[in-house]
Amino acid sequence: MEKMSYNPTANPFLRTSIDYVPFTHSLSSSLVIALIVFLVIWKLKNKTWGIALSIGVVSHWFIDFTAHTPDLPLLFNSYKVGLGLWNYPWIAFSLEIGFFLGAGYYLYRDAENLKRPIILIALLVLLYTPTMFAPEGEMPVAVFSIVSLSLYFIFAAFAWWTERKQN
């Protein structure tokens, strides 16, 4: 359905090339997904939450736009853009860690118990840090896919664990 490949020169930060991602990384898809999120959340919760989450969906594309090399499609798989912050790995890494810490502070600044949020943010930083220090070399696609999906699952589980006690 979509395709990424190992390419250390296309993206020095993640050493991958986004070859075909019209559904998960195009601006047009972000807008469609944001509309779906808005409609579902509006019906399940309320309009304000629908708007807030839709803005979150679309803002992700604009954050990606600053970091990605020109590999983000505008209209499904058409003209591709990206400002290329990933061409400067240490700057990109530092800004992303700063973003994690800043977002964590913003989201949990009024929390009564900071133990779980601190564990969540520390885990996120811990899972993200190896991207800077991983050895060069191509990882088999199956291994890369399993590792990536496992890390996403672990982070989602910890985010759920953190939030279930906050609300």
Residue 120: C-alpha distances to residues 114, 124, 157 (Å): 10, 6, 10
Closest CA to 63 of 96, 89, 40, 36: 96
The predicted pLDDT at position 51 comes to: 93
Cβ neighbour number for residue 26 with a 10 Å cutoff: 20
The predicted pLDDT at position 165 comes to: 65
Q: Scanning the structure block, which residue is given the tokens 């290329």? A: 84
Each residue's pLDDT, cut to its tens digit, for the chain (167 residues) gives 777 666 666 666 666 767 666 677 889 999 999 999 999 999 998 899 899 999 989 998 999 899 888 888 889 878 989 898 988 888 988 988 898 888 888 888 888 888 888 888 888 888 888 777 766 666 677 777 788 788 888 888 888 888 786 55
User: Tell me, what DSSP letter sits at residue 36?
Assistant: H
The predicted pLDDT at position 158 comes to: 83
Angstrom distance (rounded) from CA 39 to CA 42: 5
Alpha-helical regions (H) of the chain: 27-44, 47-67, 89-108, 115-128, 130-133, 141-166
Partner residues linked to 18 by β-bridges? 4
Q: Could you tell me if 60 and 5 are in contact, meaning their C-beta atoms sit under 8 angstroms apart?
A: no
The predicted pLDDT at position 33 comes to: 93
Q: Could you tell me if 27 and 74 are in contact, meaning their C-beta atoms sit under 8 angstroms apart?
A: yes
Q: What predicted TM-score, i.e. pTM, was given to this entire model?
A: 0.72
